[in-house]
């Protein structure tokens, strides 16, 4: 922590020397490397706003975000320079481009040279800001349209550290938090920065490497990770490596955390058996900064989202705005120490926050024991004839068939029903993608679901389109942007 503080102070002084001042927005286009954390905390310490963006974004996306937030500076790596070069003409407010890990020539500045230049400037007085000033501008992953900037304050950082890391996860200075999620997005940002640092714990970073199950196993063993955080897609890839399980020591793990996508009861059991520790599912979103519902130690129902995180109140409302009774599906709404505040999006703000309640866009129900269960994103519900179908329910059912490696279900236009249920399936390698298997899968669905929920269309695909966070891009499937096998 002492070494980190010195580097933060030196880089913070360097940023101030460039004329970057309180309230300015600074974009971080970096992988999970120490310089991300140094830059992020230096930006906040001088009273500026950190704006993380994913290294895989293309030039048009980088330019859009830079213009939307009116960024003053951008920090990136040589590996990301091509897209930045293409975007520069559209980044009209950016005055400084800083490169990590390489010598730089104009118009670029070297991160290392800036830190070296201020090697004797080891003290940096933190800018005195109000606790409700913006500390972070985090953009959504764009699954439902152009990315939206979500405002988070200094107060919110302290709140989520206390409510989730300390009270829900029971974390302390002995923990090592780790996982493959990018620090750009909420899951990785909090799991690798907010939560461990609030508790005085350590953070395990995977650097600029892409996700690989074997590399994750090595990190767990070598860094002695105690709290491992990943999306269900990553866990699915990891638990398939059964032959590798005996090669690694996972005894340091006390909990596996997952969120971002539904975690089925069967996947919960697979993760728990593979890593031999408790598995805690949760739900959060970029707008709310962190998890607001989570399973807890000794309070787990496999497949459930869990119960409200301390400090949050959660309700389910029907279409008329009345609180729904137990087991009735409705709209998830939250009140707590964090909240939805969009950057320059007054219409979305009015739609998302009503009577003080933050509507997340999720359809859920609460059971008699107070546990919440995910049904679908509101925009993903399939309306076929007079029925409403949850794609998650169909996916969970078909995933039990041995041929199915991955699956996504969406609604496609149908002249008679309005929409028809369509399943896009990645097969396990030992299965042949033919019409006979399609019929077998349709019959399997009909045997386990109401007839109107069974897919009318099945497509075998090479892979499923995903966002940088590992979420399935259902819009791409609806628009026909996939590679069919048959």
What pLDDT, on a 0 to 100 scale, did the predictor assign at position 57?
85
- Residue 171: beta bridge partners? none
Give, rounded to a whole angstrom, the gap between the first and last alpha carbons of the chain.
55
Task: Map out the domains of the chain with their CATH numbers.
Answer: 2-129 (3.40.50.980), 153-311+360-377 (3.40.50.12780), 381-478 (3.30.300.30)
- 70 vs 24, 47, 64, 458, CA distance in Å? 8, 16, 10, 45
Residue 145: is its pLDDT beyond 70?
no
Average pLDDT over residues 30-56: 96
Residue 143 has pLDDT above 60, yes or no: no
pLDDT at 144 over 70: no
What's the mean per-residue pLDDT of the chain? 93
* In the chain, % of residues over pLDDT 70: 98
Position 478 pLDDT exceeds 60:
yes
Contacts (Cβ under 8 Å, ≥6 apart) of 485: 427, 433, 460, 461, 462
User: Region 312-320: what's the mean pLDDT?
Assistant: 97
d(CA 376, CA 483): 25
- What value does the mean pLDDT take over residues 350-371? 95
pLDDT tens, residue by residue, 288-299: 999 999 999 999
Which of the four pLDDT bands, split at 50, 70 and 90, describes residue 403?
very high
Nearest Cα neighbor of 290 from 302, 268, 308 is 308
Give the separation between CA 319 and CA 355, rounded to whole angstroms. Answer: 15
H or E element, residue 141: none
**Cβ-proximal residues to 251 (8 Å cutoff; 6+ apart), any chain:** none
With 90 as the cut, is the pLDDT of residue 262 above it? no
pLDDT surpassing 60 at residue 382: yes
- Give 58-77 pLDDT, tens digit per residue: 898 899 999 999 999 999 99
Query: What percent of the chain stands above pLDDT 90?
Result: 79
Q: Quickly state the pLDDT bin for 107 (edges 50, 70, 90).
A: confident
Categorize the per-residue pLDDT at 480 as very low, low, confident or very high, splitting at 50, 70 and 90.
Answer: confident
Phi/psi at 134 (nearest 5 deg)? -70, 130
Decide if pLDDT at 308 tops 60.
yes
Q: Which of the listed ranges 128-142, 322-336, 468-482 does the model predict with the highest average pLDDT?
A: 322-336
Let me know: does 184 contact 210? Beta carbons within 8 Å.
no
Conformation bin of residue 28: beta by default, left when phi > 0, alpha when psi is -120 to 50: beta
The pLDDT assigned to 376 comes to: 85
Q: Average pLDDT of 97-114?
A: 91
pLDDT given at position 197 = 98
- Mean pLDDT comparison of 24-28, 76-80, 183-187, 413-417, highest-scoring range: 24-28
Selected residue with higher pLDDT from 451 and 273: 273
Report pLDDT digits (tens) over 162-216.
999 999 999 999 999 999 999 999 999 999 999 999 999 999 999 999 899 999 9
Report pTM.
0.85
């Amino acid at each position: 922590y002492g070494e980190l503080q010195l580097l933060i102070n030196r880089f913070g002084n360097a940023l101030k020397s460039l004329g970057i001042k309180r309230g300015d927005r600074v974009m971080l286009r970096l992988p999970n490397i120490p310089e991300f954390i140094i830059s992020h905390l230096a930006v906040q310490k001088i009273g500026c706003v950190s704006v993380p963006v994913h290294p895989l974004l293309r030039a048009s996306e980088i330019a859009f975000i830079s213009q939307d937030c009116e960024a003053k500076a951008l920090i990136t790596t040589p590996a990301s320079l091509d897209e930045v070069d293409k975007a520069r003409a559209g980044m009209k407010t950016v005055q400084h481009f800083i490169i990590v890990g390489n010598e730089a020539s104009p118009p670029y500045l070297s991160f290392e040279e800036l830190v070296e230049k201020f090697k004797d400037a080891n003290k940096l007085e933190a800018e005195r800001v109000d606790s409700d000033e913006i500390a972070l501008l985090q953009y959504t992953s764009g699954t439902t349209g152009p990315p939206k900037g979500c405002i988070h304050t200094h107060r919110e950082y302290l709140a989520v550290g206390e409510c989730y890391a300390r009270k829900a996860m029971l974390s302390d200075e002995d923990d090592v938090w780790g996982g493959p999620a990018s620090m750009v997005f909420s899951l990785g940002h909090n799991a690798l920065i907010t939560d461990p640092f609030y508790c005085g714990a350590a953070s395990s970073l995977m650097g600029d490497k892409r996700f690989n199950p074997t590399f994750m196993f090595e990190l767990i063993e070598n860094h002695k990770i105690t709290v491992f955080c990943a999306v269900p897609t990553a866990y699915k890839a990891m638990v398939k490596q059964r032959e590798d399980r005996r090669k690694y020591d996972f005894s340091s793990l006390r909990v596996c955390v997952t969120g971002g996508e539904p975690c089925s009861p069967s996947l919960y059991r697979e993760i728990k058996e593979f890593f031999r520790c408790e598995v805690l599912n949760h739900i959060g979103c970029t707008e709310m900064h962190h998890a607001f519902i989570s399973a807890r130690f000794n309070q787990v129902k496999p497949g459930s989202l869990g119960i409200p995180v301390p400090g949050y109140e959660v309700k389910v409302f029907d279409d008329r705005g009345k609180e729904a009774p137990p087991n009735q599906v409705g709209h998830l709404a939250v009140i707590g120490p964090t909240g939805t505040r969009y950057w320059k999006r007054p219409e979305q703000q009015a739609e998302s926050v009503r009577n003080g309640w933050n509507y997340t866009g999720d359809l859920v129900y609460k059971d008699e024991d107070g546990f919440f269960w995910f049904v679908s994103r509101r925009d993903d519900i399939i309306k076929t004839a007079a029925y409403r179908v949850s794609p998650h329910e169909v996916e969970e059912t078909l995933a039990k068939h041995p041929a199915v490696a991955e699956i996504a279900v969406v609604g496609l236009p149908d002249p008679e029903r309005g929409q028809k249920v369509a399943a896009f399936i990645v097969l396990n390698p030992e299965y042949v993608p033919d019409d006979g298997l399609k019929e077998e899968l349709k019959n399997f669905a009909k045997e386990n679901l109401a007839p109107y929920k069974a897919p009318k269309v099945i497509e075998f695909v090479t892979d499923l389109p995903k966002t940088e966070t590992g979420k399935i891009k259902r819009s791409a499937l609806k628009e026909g942007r996939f590679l069919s096998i048959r």
